[in-house]
Structure 1
C-alpha cells in the first residue's frame, strides 16, 4: 500500500506504522446506533413493514452475516480473523453495484470492486463490455445512520429522504413508483422508519 517513502510514517515501539494505526481506527469505528425511541413508535414500526413490502429491502438489506473465521479471501491473500467471523450486522445495504439511474458515468475499476488479488487471478474474464456495464452503477450505501446525513445519494444531490427515494430509477424504478403510490400517511411512516436508522 505504501509505495513512496514517507519520513513521518515510521513504526512505533509496538511495530505499528501510521497506516496500521489508521486501519485499526477504521475497524473500530462503529455505525451510529439506531434511535430506539423513534424506532419503537407505531409510525416507524409501520414504516419498517412498508419498507420491506414495497421492496426497499431488496437492495437495502437489513442484516448481513460475515463469513466464518478462517475463510480465505482475495485469492488467499486475506483470512477472516476469529473476531470478525460469523458476525451479524445491520447495514440496511447490500454493498453491491446497482443502476439506480443516478450514476455518474464513471466505470468501476475491477481491482477496486473485486480486490487486486482476485483481479490478478481472473483478469482474462473481464472484457471491455463487462467493465463498461458498471458505468452507471453505484454501490448501495448502507442506511445505518442515514438520519445524520445532510446530503443523500452517491452525489449528495438529494437533501431529503423523500427526494432520495423518488430519485431512484433504473433497477429501483418499480420500488420508487410503489413509494409514490402509497398514501401520504404510509410515505411518512417509511420516512419515520428511516429517521430511526
Structure 2
C-alpha cells in the first residue's frame, strides 16, 4: 500500500501573514518578506506533521492510493479523510498495462475517521495477479486556510511557531510535538479498533 500526495499545498493557501502575526514579528522585519520562504517551510512542515498525527488532509489536494490487494471484497478504506471526490480507479497488469475502471462501479462512503471506497454491486473489480490498483481522489477539509476548523488551524500555527523558535536546536527528538498541539488535534486522531482487521 502506498499513499502519495500528488499535488502540494499551494503557496497561496499558506497563512504566512497570520503566522507573522502569531510570531509577533516586528513591523519592519515582518513586512520585509525576506523570510517568507523560511516561514512557508515551517508552515508546510507543521501541516504535514498534523496530518500525519491525525490521518486528516487539511488543505484539499489530490492523492493516489496504490494497493496490491483489496482490504475487503466489497469495500476499501482510503486511509486519509475527509475525501471530497473520487477522480479515478485504474487497474494495473503485472506488465504495467493500465485499464481505467468506470467510476459508476464505485461509491464513496464518507466517514470522519476512515472513508471507504465501496462497490456498487457485490464486489470490487478483480486486481490482476501480480498487478495493482490505483485510486485517485481529492481529500481535505477546505480549499483555503480560512475554511479549516479553528482548532486545526491553531494547532498548525503553534507547531510552526515551535519549529521556528527551536530552528537551531539539534537535541529535539524526532516526533517532538508540544502539549498544546496534541491537545488541539486529539479529537481528530484515528481510533484503531479490531487490531486493524476488516470490519
TM-score relative to the length of structure 2: 0.28
Higher strand share: 2
TM-score relative to the length of structure 1: 0.28
Higher helix share: 1
